[in-house]
Amino acid sequence: MNILVTGGAGFIGSNFVRYMLDTYPDYQIINYDLLTYAGNLENLKEYENRKNYSFIKGDIRNKELLQYVVKKHRVNAIINFAAESHVDRSISDPGIFVKTNVLGTQVLLDVAKENNIVKYVQISTDEVYGSLGEDGFFIETTPLSPNSPYSASKASSDLFVQAYHETYGMNVNITRCSNNYGPFHFPEKLIPLMITNALEGKSLPVYGDGKNVRDWLHVSDHCSAIDLVLHNGAPGEVYNIGGHNEKQNIDVIKEILNILEKPHSLIQFIEDRAGHDRRYAIDATKIRDDLGWKPAYDFEKGLLETVNWYLNNKAWWNRIKSGEYQRYYETQYGIL
Ligand code: NAD
Ligand code: DAU
C-alpha cells in the first residue's frame, strides 16, 4: 500500500506514522503536513531517512499539490488526520477551523475521487455527538450534536465524507475516537499541559468545577484501531473508538501531581470553558465485534509512562513552550 497520511507531523498523526513504519515495512508512507504551530518534524526524527517514508510540506486545501503528490507516489489510500484540533482555539478564532477542517476535507475528498483512491479514512472525534449526561454512551448512530466551533467543523467534515460515499460510491470510513494521551502530545491539551506546568512549578488551570468527564485512550491503541479500519473497515461505515476509561479532569490532574510528587496546592480553578461539554463516553462494541479491536493499555500504566516520557523529553516541550506558545498561553490564561 502507498498511504498518504495528512497531518502526520501532529500528535496522533506522528504516532500513527511511526506505528505504520514499524508494523508494515513494505508500505510507502507519505506524510503531508502544513507544519502549523501543532506540526513538528522532531516527532519523527528517527524515521526521516527510512526508504519507505517521505515528507511533503503542504496544505490539504492545495488541490494542485495534492494531485501531484498522489500521482507521483501512486497513492492508493488516504488517512486524514490534518485538522485544527484545539477546542479553546476554536472558541477564540473559529474561521480557520472551517477552512482547514471543512474545506480541507472536501478538497482531499475530491483528490481521492479523481484518483480512484481505494480507501479514504477520516479521523474524527467523539465530540461530534455533543455532551452526555451522567449516564449512557455514544454509539455510531447517536445524532450529531456538536457544541463547539471545533466539533461543528469536524461534524461538518464527517457529513462531506458520508456524502461522497453516497453520491460517488467512494470507499470511505469515519473513525470517532475519544480523548487520546501519550508521547508527543502538544502541551496546550489537558494532560501534557498539567504535566509540564507541574514540572515548571506553575499553576494548573482547571476549568469550572473540574468534574467534566473525558474517556481517555492511549494513542497507540487509537493507532491499532485505525490500522484495522484501514484494512478491514466495511465501505461507508463509522467506527467509534474508546477504552472505557472515564475520568473527571480533577482526578486525572491529582493523579499526575501524585506521580510527580508535587503539591495539590498547584491546582487553580479558573473560569469555565464556554459551552464546555460535560461528559464524553464511547461505546466501542462495533469495532470490537466487527473488526476484533481491543485496547492494550490500562490508564494508570499509560499515564505513568506518559509522565515519564515528558520527564525524559524536556528539550522537546521546552522548545514548544517558548516563543509563539507563550503568547497563546498568556491570552488563554492571563498570567497565572
Ligand atoms: P494536532 O493538532 O496535534 O495535529 C494536527 C496536524 O495537522 C498538525 O501536524 C498540523 O500541522 C496539521 N495541519 C493543520 N492544518 C493543516 C492543513 N491545512 N494542511 C495540512 N496539515 C495541516 O492534532 P491531533 O491531536 O494529532 O489530532 C489529529 C486528528 O485526530 C484531528 O483530526 C482531530 O480532530 C482528531 N482527534 C483527536 C483526538 C485527540 O484526543 N487529540 C481525539 C479524536 C480525534
Ligand atoms: O474527545 C476528543 C477530543 O479531545 C479531540 O477531538 C480534540 O481534538 C482534543 O483536543 C480533545 O478535546 P478536549 O476539549 O476534550 O481536550 P482538552 O485537552 O482541551 O481538555 C480536556 C478537558 O480538560 C476538558 O474538559 C477541558 C479541561 N481543561 C483543559 C485545559 C486545556 C481544563 O480544565 N484546563 C485546561 O487548561
Does residue 15 contact residue 217 with C-beta atoms inside 8 Å?
A: no
User: Mind listing the pLDDT tens digit for each residue in 265-294?
Assistant: 999 999 999 999 999 999 999 999 999 999
Quick one: what percent of the chain has pLDDT higher than 70? 99
Q: Which residues of 108-122 are buried (b: 16+ CB within 10 A; e: fewer)?
A: bbebbeebebebbbb
Q: Which amino acid, residue 160? A: F
Place of cell 503539591: 263
* pLDDT (0 to 100) of residue 336: 59
Task: Return the H-helix or E-strand segment holding 13.
Answer: helix 11-23
pTM: 0.98
Per-residue model confidence as pLDDT tens digits over 296-315: 999 999 999 999 999 999 99
189 in contact with ligand 2, CB cutoff 6 A: yes
- Of the candidates 33, 84, 88, 126, the residue annotated as catalytic is 126
pLDDT mean over 135-146: 98
**Å from CA of 56 to ligand 2 middle:** 29
Residue 334: band (very low, low, confident or very high) from pLDDT cuts 50, 70, 90: confident
Ligand 2, atom 14: nearest CA belongs to which residue?
87
Query: Catalytic residue at 126?
Result: yes
Pocket test for ligand 1, best of 85, 125, 191, 324 (most atoms within 8 A of CB): 85
What is residue 309's predicted lDDT score, i.e. its pLDDT? 98
Residue closest via CA to ligand 2's atom 19 equals 189
Print burial letters for 59-96: b (CB count within 10 Å at least 16), e (below 16): bbbbeebbeebbeebebbbbbbbbbbbbbbbbbeebee
Phi, psi (5° rounding) for residue 131? -115, 145
Instruction: Report the C-alpha gap between 323 and 40 in whole angstroms.
Output: 15
Amino acid 180: pLDDT: 98
User: Among this protein's residues, is 84 annotated catalytic?
Assistant: no
Q: Is 59 in the pocket of ligand 1 (CB under 6 A)?
A: yes
The DSSP code sequence of 237-302 is: -EEEE--S-EEEHHHHHHHHHHHHT--GGGEEEEPPPTT---B--B--HHHHHHH-------HHHH
Nearest ligand to residue 102 Cα: 1
Q: Is the pLDDT of residue 323 over 80?
A: no
pLDDT at 335 over 70: no
Task: Give, for ligand 2, the residue of 86, 190, 250 to mutate: max count of ligand atoms closer than 8 Å to Cβ.
Answer: 190
How high does pLDDT run on average in the chain?
Answer: 97
Q: State which ligand 2 atom lies nearest to the alpha carbon of 83.
A: 8
For the chain, the domains span 2-181+218-241
Nearest alpha carbon, ligand 2 atom 25: 212
Ligand 2 mean position, distance from CA 212 (Å): 10
Decide yes or no: CATH 3.40.50.720 for domain 2-181+218-241.
Answer: yes
Distance CA(194)–CA(224), nearest Å, equals: 27
What pLDDT, in 10s, does the model give residues 60-108? Answer: 999 999 999 999 999 999 999 999 999 999 999 999 999 999 999 999 9
* 124 C-alpha to ligand 1 centroid (Å): 10
> Nine-digit cell at 228?
484495522
Which helix (H) or strand (E) is 150 found in, with range?
helix 149-168
Going from the Cα of 214 to the center of ligand 2, the distance in angstroms, rounded, reads 8
Give me the mean pLDDT over the 193-204 stretch: 98
Our answer to whether residue 24 is catalytic in this structure is no
- Please tell me the predicted confidence (pLDDT) of residue 279: 98
Half-sphere exposure of 81 (CA within 13 A, CB side): 27
Q: Provide the pLDDT for residue 324.
A: 86
Chain center to CA of 242? 13
Task: Tell me how far apart the alpha carbons of residues 153 and 214 are, in angstroms, rounded to a whole number.
Answer: 20
14 CA from centroid of ligand 1 (Å): 10
Q: Which ligand is nearest to the CA of 270?
A: 2
Q: Whose CA is nearest to atom 14 of ligand 1?
A: 83
Catalytic residue, candidates 150, 181, 280, 297: 150
